[in-house]
């Protein structure tokens, strides 16, 4: 039989359902794999003891015939979700010792469906980054290496710990958050599936805020079916989040394999970038052919304001971050440095508590919101955000989904772009437009770069039409047959 930590989420569900293994055995295999994967630094906090208790409870419920849709299945949780009684850090020094007295809605939904928590995963500090090397707890290493080159690579970010564990077979699924690409880009770099739902599909309540109009929780898994299963468990209306959508959650898995005949797929011409590596373009062309062979019709579309998306994002996101992060003042949460004058305590706490990238964003955000510059930057960015949204609305009058690359390159070496924020921000060029517009988007592993590293294709869909997006993702996955494995695969 396949080792238990090699099973995907839906496969593991079926194995438990047939009584071929218990949740306890499945969880123990993932704990051993998590221990073997420690060199990747993917967890900030392991909750293995709690996992064993949750697994025992799940087995007991199953014995009584009470099964949630994730009954007994272990998952890892980005350390941006508040978890009752478990340290929650956002990978920042400023949240030192913060143990929330409450549970985020999304994680509560997972536990209600019977899932088992393996631990809290590493990320870029406050989710700001594309490489998972801004964490106070140290960088995460990708389980992948370039053949013949032993330099560590980044797993992508900011949900890098979640992506690395799923890719290394130390978790069958994990959750992350995506503000400008933080689920999709690490999924593409790590050779797994990453799904950002429509803004409002999953509650943000109890998720440490980065940019509230953009943040959205979502799953990272090894298959498209597993993403559908996770999303169904995570999603749903929540009165505690005023932007949560009061619409029903379909069974996303139900029609996932029903094919894409007759579906109209838009190919945005503005996503062809100067200087884009030819292998990215080639994979995109290949993706178009795959969808056509599966019966879809593809056509070129125009999203005219695409080139403004990245600068717009890097005004809106820091603006919201500067406001959200104002709450970390040393009074109520985590770290406090100094105990003399109040202003002095604020300055020391924030100066020492936040890392370089977070301070950069707070400065940019404060600047673009300041009285003299508000109209020139923030207001202009908001107007562009509307124009970008209108591009999508008019394109979706004629098409059902959009196909693009997920990222403009494969994973890079650790530290390679850390000194150049602009080079780092360019990673998000294909992911931020759907973030600014709240549209659902997912990355599916589709091939390897010339260097032997994973590349992803992105499917963007209409608001709340994750079901169609998943159907297209499923067809892409079947055509691509991506079965490459990272160099490091944990033994369970």
Which window, 113-121, 179-187, 272-280, 335-343, contacts ligand GLN (CB under 6 A)? 179-187
CB closer to ligand GLN out of 22 and 142: 142
Footprint on residues 252-311 left by ligand GLN (CB under 6 A)? none
| Chain centroid, CA 12 distance in Å | 22
Q: Applying CB under 6 A, which part among 10-18, 138-146, 175-183, 437-445 lies near ligand GLN?
A: 175-183
For the residues of 190-243, what is the DSSP string, one character each?
Answer: HTSEEEEPPTTSS--TTBPPS-TTT-EEEEEESSHHHHHHHHHHH----TTSTT
* Residue 190 binds to ligand GLN (criterion: CB under 6 A): no
Residue 412 touches ligand GLN, criterion: CB under 6 A: no
Select the span of 43-51, 87-95, 122-130, 282-290 touching ligand GLN (CB under 6 A): 122-130
Residue 459 forms beta bridges with which residues? 403, 442
Binding of residue 179 to ligand GLN (CB under 6 A): yes
324 binds ligand GLN (CB under 6 A): no
**Among residues 428, 446, 466, 473, the one that binds ligand GLN under rule CB under 6 A:** 428
Q: Report the distance separating Cα 229 and Cα 12, nearest Å.
A: 12
When asked if residue 430 is in the footprint of ligand GLN (CB under 6 A), the reply is no
Binding to ligand GLN by residue 317, rule CB under 6 A? yes
* Residue 329: closest CA among 318, 317, 338: 338
Q: How far is CA 162 from the centre of its chain?
A: 8
Nearer to ligand GLN, 210 or 482 (CB): 210
78 tagged catalytic: yes
Q: How far is the CB of 125 from ligand GLN (least distance, A)?
A: 10
Q: At closest approach, how far in Å is the CB of 81 from ligand GLN? A: 13
Q: Tell whether residue 76 is a contact of ligand GLN (CB under 6 A).
A: no
- Distance spanning both ends of the chain, measured CA to CA: 13
Q: Which of 158, 221, 434, 437 binds ligand GLN (CB under 6 A)?
A: 158
22, 78, 203, 435: the catalytic one is 78
Return the number of the residue (15 or 280) whose C-beta is nearest ligand GLN: 280
Within a 13 Å sphere around the CA of 149, how many CA atoms are in the beta-carbon half? 13
| Position closest to ligand GLN via CB | 182
Length of the chain: 492
Nearer to ligand GLN, 182 or 406 (CB): 182
312 binds ligand GLN (CB under 6 A): no
| 178 vs 477 by CB, closer to ligand GLN | 178
Catalytic one of 182, 190, 203, 443: 182
Please report whether residue 186 would count as binding ligand GLN according to CB under 6 A.
no
Q: Which of 92, 127, 142, 158 is catalytic?
A: 158
The residue from 129, 330, 355, 365 that contacts ligand GLN (CB under 6 A) is 129
* Separation of alpha carbons 315 and 447, rounded Å: 33
The C-alpha angle with vertex 221 and arms to 263 and 20, in degrees rounded to 5, equals 110
Q: What part of residues 202-221 is at the interface with ligand GLN (CB under 6 A)?
A: 210
For the question of residue 23 being annotated catalytic, the response is no
Question: Which residues lie below 8 Å from residue 476, measured CB to CB, with a gap of 6+?
Answer: 224, 287, 290, 291, 444, 446, 457, 459
Query: Rule CB under 6 A: is residue 181 a binding residue for ligand GLN?
Result: yes
Q: How far apart are CA 48 and CA 285, in angstroms?
A: 44
Complex with ligand GLN: residue 7 or 123, whichever CB lies closer: 123
Q: Is 435 a catalytic residue?
A: no
Residue 41: Cβ within 10 Å count: 19
- Answer whether 62's CB lies under 8 Å from 132's CB: no
Total number of residues that touch ligand GLN (CB under 6 A):
13
- Identify the residue among 5, 92, 104, 127 touching ligand GLN (CB under 6 A): 127
- Residue 158 preceded by cis peptide, ω within 30: yes
267 backbone dihedrals φ, ψ, rounded to 5°: -120, 105
Among the listed residues 172, 201, 194, 180, the one whose alpha carbon sits nearest the alpha carbon of residue 105: 201
Which residue, 164 or 480, has its beta carbon nearer to ligand GLN? 164
Does the protein bind ligand GLN through residue 406 (CB under 6 A)? no
Please tell me the distance from the alpha carbon of residue 72 to that of residue 143, in angstroms, as a whole number. 26
Q: Judged by CB under 6 A, which stretch of 56-64, 178-186, 243-251, 371-379 contacts ligand GLN?
A: 178-186
Q: ∠ CA 196-384-369 to the nearest 5 degrees?
A: 90
Q: Which of 130, 409, 418, 434 binds ligand GLN (CB under 6 A)?
A: 130
Alpha-carbon Rg for the chain, nearest whole angstrom, is 21
- Taking the CB of residue 343, how many other CB atoms lie within 10 A of it? 9
Decide if residue 354 touches ligand GLN (CB under 6 A). Answer: no
Q: How far is the CB of 242 from ligand GLN (least distance, A)?
A: 21
**E strands present in 239-381:** 264-268, 297-301
What span, in angstroms and rounded, lies between the C-alpha atoms of 50 and 31?
11
DSSP string over 444-455: EEEEE-TTS-EE
182 counts as binding ligand GLN under rule CB under 6 A: yes
**Which residues lie near ligand GLN (CB under 6 A)?**
127-130, 158, 178-182, 210, 317, 428
> Which residues carry out catalysis?
78, 158, 182
């Amino acid at each position: 039989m396949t080792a238990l930590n090699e099973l995907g989420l839906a496969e593991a569900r079926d194995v438990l359902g047939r009584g071929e293994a218990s949740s306890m055995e499945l969880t123990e295999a993932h704990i051993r794999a998590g221990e073997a994967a420690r060199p990747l630094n993917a967890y900030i906090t392991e909750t293995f003891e709690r996992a064993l208790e949750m697994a025992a409870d799940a087995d007991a419920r199953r014995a009584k015939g009470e099964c949630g849709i994730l009954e007994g299945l272990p998952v890892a949780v980005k350390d941006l979700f508040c978890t009752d009684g478990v340290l929650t850090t956002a990978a920042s020094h400023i949240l030192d010792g913060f143990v929330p007295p409450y549970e985020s809605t999304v994680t509560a939904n997972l536990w209600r469906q019977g899932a088992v928590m393996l631990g809290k995963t590493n990320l870029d500090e406050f989710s700001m980054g594309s490489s998972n090397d801004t964490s106070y707890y140290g960088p995460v290493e990708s389980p992948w290496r370039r053949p013949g080159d032993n330099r560590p690579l980044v797993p992508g970010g900011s949900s890098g710990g979640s992506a690395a564990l799923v890719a290394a077979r130390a978790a069958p699924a994990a959750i992350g958050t995506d503000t400008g690409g933080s689920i999709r880009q690490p999924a593409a770099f790590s050779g797994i599936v990453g799904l950002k739902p429509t803004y409002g599909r999953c509650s943000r309540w109890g998720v440490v805020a980065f940019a509230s109009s953009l943040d959205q929780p979502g799953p990272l898994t090894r298959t498209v079916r597993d993403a559908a299963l996770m999303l169904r468990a995570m999603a749903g209306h929540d009165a505690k989040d005023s932007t949560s959508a009061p619409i029903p959650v379909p069974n996303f898995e139900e029609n996932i394999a029903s094919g894409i005949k007759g579906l109209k797929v838009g190919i945005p011409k503005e996503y062809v970038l100067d200087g884009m590596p030819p292998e990215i373009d080639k994979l995109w062309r290949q993706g178009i052919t795959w969808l056509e062979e599966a019966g879809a019709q593809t056509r070129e579309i125009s999203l005219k304001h695409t080139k403004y998306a990245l600068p717009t994002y890097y005004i809106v996101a820091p603006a919201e971050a500067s406001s959200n992060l104002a709450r970390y003042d040393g009074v109520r949460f985590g770290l406090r440095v100094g105990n003399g004058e109040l202003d002095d305590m604020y300055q020391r706490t924030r100066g020492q508590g936040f890392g370089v990238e977070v301070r950069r964003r707070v400065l940019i955000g404060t600047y673009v919101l300041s009285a003299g510059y508000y109209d020139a930057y923030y207001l202009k960015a908001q107007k562009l955000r509307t124009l970008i949204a209108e591009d999508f609305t008019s394109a979706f009058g004629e098409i059902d989904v959009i196909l693009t690359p997920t990222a403009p390159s494969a994973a890079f070496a650790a530290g390679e772009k850390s000194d150049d924020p602009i080079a780092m921000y360019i990673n998000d060029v294909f992911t931020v437009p759907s973030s600014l517009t709240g549209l659902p988007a997912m990355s599916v592993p589709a091939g390897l770069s010339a260097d032997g590293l994973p590349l992803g294709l992105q499917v963007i869909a209409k608001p709340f039409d994750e079901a169609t997006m998943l159907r297209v993702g499923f067809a892409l996955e079947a055509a691509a047959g991506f079965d490459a494995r990272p160099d490091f695969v944990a033994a369970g």
